[in-house]
Amino acid sequence: MFGLKADWSLDVHERYFTIGDYAGGEARWCPGCGDHGILTVLQRICRDEQLAPEMSVMVSGIGCSSRFPHYMGTYGFHGLHGRALPLACGVKARRPELDVWVATGDGDCFSIGTAHWVHAIRYNMDMVVTVFDNGVYALTKKQTSPTSPRGFKSNTHPRGALLPPLNPLTVTLGITNASFVAQTIDWNPVHLHATLSAAHKHKGLSFVRILQRCPVFSPGFVSDPQNDPSQILLLNHEKGISVDKGLQRLFTNNREHDPADLSAARNIAEETSPIPIGLLYHNPDAICYDELSSQGVDMAVTDKLTALNSVFDRLAV
């Protein structure tokens, strides 16, 4: 100890996270599944934003998409079928400091989870909701989903789906207090990355529908727009999803759209040919329920017990 200064201290370097810090188990989706690309993009965003893994949580329900928490090196919650959104809302209500991501599918969200979908949009709690829409129940081996095209042959409708598909965009845009509604595609990682990055930066619930390939059970769901970019309508605006000129040249159909215009967003959402991608609607002033539900989370245990006992005292007979 002779000769050493008594006031020395170690220099602690700031943590830096790499892609590997966000890697969980080995992804076991089918080869060619669009989920692989979505996973890579989301891990890149976590790396780009340097989100601490222990301060991030991935919540899911049931389905191929809902295996996401197993493949992320963050906290995760693999919930029940259709219950991803109330679980995520519960996490955000009591742990508002966490980055909350939701992975759900067209069946998980738009069928058994419909009521939770509607109310989660209205609550507008700060999280990113990614809906992997492949137009089929794939995990259970090809049943008709709410977004299956009419005539789609499945194990539940071997002669073809009888009803026209649900339009998730028009439904979401019809819900009070919606604040961020976007659509993108899994086979263009540039647009996918730009969309999810913008969604993460938004304060409120970001609803992102991702048209996703399922080469095994619904290979024709998005094959035409995938092979023919002219079947895609790219939405452009200075307040929308920022993309480079190369992407604009790829998609020959471009349209200027102000995402603050709800009426125009609803009209665009009605269009299915060409398929719109980009930010349809953005309202940064929408009320965030987690700012209300998280009040009191910093109370001391003794204060909570005092408040609880005072309520019980009022009920005493």
What domains appear along the chain, each with residue ranges and CATH number? Answer: 19-315 (3.40.50.970)
Q: What are the angstrom distances between the C-alpha of 275 and each of 167, 255, 279?
A: 12, 12, 13
Residue 14 has a pLDDT of 81
In tens, the pLDDT along 154-207 reads 999 999 999 999 999 999 999 999 999 999 999 999 999 999 999 999 999 999
What is the spatial order of strands in the sheet that 56-60 belongs to? 75-78, 56-60, 99-105, 127-133, 205-211, 180-185, 275-282, 232-236, 253-256
pTM: 0.91
- How many angstroms separate the most distant Cα atoms in the chain? 88
d(C-alpha 231, C-alpha 286), whole Å:
33
Q: Which of 210, 200, 208, 205 is nearest to 283 (CA)?
A: 205
Q: What is the spatial distance between Cα 39 and Cα 22, in angstroms, rounded to a whole number?
A: 10
Instruction: Using a pLDDT cut of 70, give the percent of the chain over it.
Output: 96
Encoding tokens for residue 120?
């989660």
pLDDT interval class at 125 (50, 70, 90)? very high
Distance between CA atoms of 175 and 178, rounded to whole angstroms? 6
Residue 137: which H helix or E strand, with range?
A: strand 136-137
The answer to whether 317 and 237 have CB atoms below 8 angstroms apart is no
- Above 60 in pLDDT, residue 87? yes
CA-based radius of gyration for the chain: 22
As a whole number of angstroms, the distance between CA 214 and CA 59 comes to 22
Q: How far apart are CA 20 and CA 171, in angstroms?
A: 37
**Cβ 43 vs Cβ 71: under 8 Å:** no
Q: What's the CA dihedral at 150, 151, 152, 156 to 10 degrees?
A: 100
How confident is the prediction for the chain on average, in pLDDT? 94
